[in-house]
Structure 1
Amino acid sequence: MDCSGCSACLFSWGLRNKRHCILNEQYSPEEYTKKAQELRTGSYAAFSAAQREFAGVRLNCIRKAVHSVQSEECIGDYLQNCKACVACFNALDSQDCRYMYDGVSCKDCGDCNEMGYSELCYDVVEAFPEAYSVLWSFLTANTSDMQYCDHCYNSKHLFGCVGIRKGEYCILNKQYSKEEFEKLIPKIIEKMIVDGEWGEFLPVAMSPFAYNETVAQEAFPLTKGEAEKRGWQWRDAEEKQSQYLGPDYAIPDVITNAPDAIIEKILRCAVTGKPYKIIPQELKFYRDMGLPVPRMCPEERHRERMALRNPRKLWNRECAKCSKAIETTYAPERPEIVYCESCYLSSVY
């Protein structure tokens, strides 16, 4: 965790340009190889014990308030070579952006997600590459001067269009002349302003998916009640008729004891009880890496991984060392030790 320029290290944190370390303790190459082999037994019990031990170690690790590299006048996390970006996360080579997630080489963009080489965009999801003056749209590439469009590519001067390729001067997928287009657009905008629609993203009611079926639930988790209070759909897990799947299969503790026939078995998630299977390629990977067969279904494993990522939200708290006020993705009530930039650098280097 938080290691840079390192190789051949296990269960370590905050290291720089190190090799052959376990739990931040330096070993000789021979000692490291021996220790690593002792840890890599392929046993689920041993693997779980190591995970629990490292979870305890993680709580005592020094955390950096924000991860910002060669960036100035920025507020957010995981920013690199950025300038004047506010409330942005996972951005690279971007400038003067607001509330943007996952952006590369963007300028003057706001309320955007999954953007690349784009400028003057607002309320856009997935414009990559090259979007210019695109507003309230979804999934575009090589486009300009578009509003309220969906899945349109290599096009310009579109309004309310879906699935257009290499088009221009279209409204609701209907072709117009340049003069007709420029005459109609102000009238449409005026009507949308009266109806309270102009300036808002595509309505949630248009989504074929419930809130908890989308990645929004991962980034901004809500309860069923919170989602429904906002008028958004929520889909409960379907209750399927119980079907006898045979006796629960006892997964061998050590991967070397897992037979080829395990891919034909129906396994049961230790968390949810949901049945799942593993495929031949998956079994080969576990054997090659000396990893035990997982006890959780794929969905639970994904949730567990996502829980390791900090939320895309900023809180005010104090540096645990100098008490300086900082903005960070670590909520004040969380137990992690969070340092400001200067205290972090002086502690790590």
Structure 2
Amino acid sequence: MILTVTPNPSLDRTYEVPALERGEVNRATGERVDPGGKGVNVSRAVAAAGRRTVAVLPLGGAPGAVVAELLDAQGIEVAPVAVAGATRSNIALAEADGVLTKINAPGPELTAAEQELLLETVHRQSRGADWIACCGSLPRGLAPSWYAELVGRAHTAGVRIALDTSGPALAAALRERPDVVKPNAEELAEAVGCRLTTVGDAVKAAEELRGMGARTVLASLGADGQVLVDEHGAWFGTARVDVVRSNVGAGDSSLAGFLIAGGRGPEALASALAHGAAAVQTPGSVMPTPGDLDPAAVTVTATVPVDRALKEPVT
């Protein structure tokens, strides 16, 4: 079972438009309403793969009730933490060429009592979990050290934990040595304070992140692929994508694929790549099913092309 923690969930409405024209009336060609938040998306991807998952998240108001209903309809067990503020509502505009414009609301401010109840709920639900995946930004009221507290408690309970966050929250959590961290290229560069222009730069930055406390680093480089660095070495992988429809939740689907496959080694990296590639070829934030995966489109190698220039450098 994979337990997910989403401190700042959302109700996401995605509109597909041919092309976004500012200041004009834009007519959508498609519309979806989904439960949102990075941890929520990981649970949705795990459930789509036919695996058991439990989603822990603070929920409040009418949007929170809709999020719970949508998750339940997808076969996801929900462990809600009732909060006074209303769950945020987000809007995404997906253009035909793959460009995505997002408007994310700030979300409610959690009280000290709500914060502690969230931690206690995670501890209670984590019994028997193979992994805890805590993902996304922290809502108002939660200090950057909140994720560090969560990682420490998970390890005390003997549960492996994967973390997908950035900035001060990531920096604070590293001292508790999370089992997996999953930054994208921008987050990786920010965490170690360097430029990423080649695959080798990304591997070096991942190694630095391990030196700061991460046990395993799974770094997404967007269209350039992914790198995996742990105590056994480094691997690089790519996946062919024929048509990009939406990258909403692609990184979360990738993390789900990694954890489903055991959360370590090149086989898990290949699973992460297959899930991420399938996700970007689905509309909105639809999560791929096993039938959507194309393992033959994935390439993983321990011979890392360190001099390969990134198509999307971070400078």
Shorter-chain TM-score tier: under 0.3
Query: Whose RCO is larger (CA < 8 A, sep 6+)?
Result: 2
Return the structure number with greater helix share.
2
